[in-house]
């Protein structure tokens, strides 16, 4: 079975993720296939727009090939580095693509799925959307441009999502600007068929088919998120959470106790620097350096063991506390790679 289906449908180039048993999680070959299709369609004057969705099964895209990355990290990291290099080139290609892109975030949209969705001009959420960057729970960080996208959310919403891995629904994605449109899932096939017939009318087609989104529950917590997650340090955020005896604050503190302190510090630094990053290519260059290092650290192997392999959900992080993660350790993770090893766009 082909893990990525690429077809020409009228003046649309269509990419369908087709790895249903893995919730369409990306591997290196899938990213290469998508890059090849994008290159082909850019040079084809008959193709006016690109549509990205998933084939059978639930979930748009649950992330990347975590098992492979963990196995590679334990043995030197070459395959993981190759995956990150190709995936980030695909992310950058989507971000800079000259033709309109439409993504349908119908179902689970996490990690690598976020990296495919957010570069698109048109990002369609539905009642099935489950959007998250849950990487700190396995010792990683919100990559695939997470430092760029999350840092540009209002207030401290990006820090909250990055640290806790909070899962957003479709209405919340629309309210935060992560989605451009909200459609009932039952209208998606009509939207796609109409786009194939009139790819120059994508925005008006979506505007015709949208439905009022439910209330975005996350907005009720916006002010408290801005207050509780205001500190630039993990220790500061934890201290504020511990001093707040409200039920919601204590729920967030309990969530952070399950996450890798090292991964949370990496995530905070990523967003802080992402706000001022000159270009998306610069963002991906930095994330590649960070990813190739974090993927070889013990917390990632332990997170994969606890959450994906043994499923005991009881990771033993090392260091176990925010205070145990030193500034020198974070600086080493963020150090630029030598030029011959660094990430470059396709």
Angle at the Cα of 301 from the Cα atoms of 298 and 303, rounded to 5 degrees: 105
Beta strands in the chain (DSSP E): 4-9, 12-17, 49-54, 101-105, 108-110, 122-125, 130-132, 168-169, 181-182
Q: Does the annotation mark 143 as catalytic?
A: yes
Separation of alpha carbons 150 and 178, rounded Å: 9
Separation of alpha carbons 243 and 250, rounded Å: 9
- CA separation (Å) from 306 to 79, 263, 293? 22, 15, 20
Q: Does the annotation mark 71 as catalytic?
A: no
Separation of alpha carbons 95 and 269, rounded Å: 22
Among 176, 64, 53, which Cα is nearest to 117's? 53
Separation of alpha carbons 274 and 17, rounded Å: 29
Would you call 18 exposed, middle or buried from its count of C-beta atoms within 10 A (0-12, 13-18, 19+)? Answer: middle
Separation of alpha carbons 169 and 175, rounded Å: 10
* 12-17 sheet: strands from edge to edge: 4-9, 12-17, 49-54, 101-105, 122-125, 181-182
Of 3, 53, 106, 143, the catalytic one is: 143
Separation of alpha carbons 181 and 320, rounded Å: 41
Are 234 and 265 in contact, with CB atoms under 8 Å apart?
yes
Torsion of CA 12, 15, 16, 17, to 10 degrees: -170
Of 106, 135, 159, 172, the catalytic one is: 135
Of 13, 59, 63, 64, the catalytic one is: 64
Of 112, 115, 139, 165, the catalytic one is: 112
Q: Does the annotation mark 77 as catalytic?
A: no
Q: Does the annotation mark 106 as catalytic?
A: no
Catalytic residues: 64, 112, 135, 143
């Amino acid at each position: 079975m082909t893990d990525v289906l690429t077809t020409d449908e009228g003046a649309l180039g269509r990419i369908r993720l087709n790895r249903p048993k893995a919730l369409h999680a990306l591997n290196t070959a899938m990213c290469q296939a998508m890059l090849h299709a994008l290159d082909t369609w850019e040079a084809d004057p008959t193709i006016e727009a690109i549509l990205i969705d998933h084939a059978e099964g639930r979930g748009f895209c649950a992330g990347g090939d975590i098992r492979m990355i963990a196995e590679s990290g334990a043995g030197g990291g070459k395959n993981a580095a190759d995956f990150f290099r190709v995936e980030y080139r695909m992310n950058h290609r989507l971000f800079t693509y000259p033709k309109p892109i439409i993504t349908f975030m119908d179902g689970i949209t996490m990690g690598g799925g976020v990296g495919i969705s957010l570069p698109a001009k048109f990002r369609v959420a539905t009642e099935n959307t489950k959007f998250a960057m849950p990487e700190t729970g396995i010792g990683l960080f919100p990559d695939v441009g997470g430092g760029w996208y999350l840092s540009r959310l209002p207030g401290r919403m990006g820090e909250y999502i990055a640290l806790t891995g909070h899962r957003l629904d479709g209405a919340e994605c629309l309210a935060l600007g992560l989605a451009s449109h909200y459609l009932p899932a039952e209208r998606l096939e009509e939207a796609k068929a109409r786009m194939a017939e009139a790819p120059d009318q994508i925005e008006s087609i979506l505007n015709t088919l949208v439905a009022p989104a439910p209330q975005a529950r996350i907005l009720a917590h916006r002010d408290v998120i801005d207050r509780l997650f205001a500190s630039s340090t993990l220790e500061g955020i934890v201290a504020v959470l511990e001093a707040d005896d409200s039920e919601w604050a204590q729920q967030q503190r309990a969530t952070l106790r399950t996450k890798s302190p090292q991964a949370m510090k990496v995530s905070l630094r990523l967003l802080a620097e992402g706000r001022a990053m000159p270009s998306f290519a610069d963002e991906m260059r930095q994330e590649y350096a960070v990813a190739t290092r974090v993927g070889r650290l013990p917390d990632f192997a332990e997170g994969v063991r606890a959450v994906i392999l043994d499923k005991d959900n009881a990771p033993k992080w090392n260091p176990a506390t925010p205070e145990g993660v030193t500034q020198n350790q974070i600086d080493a993770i963020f150090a630029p790679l030598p030029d011959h090893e660094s990430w470059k766009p396709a």
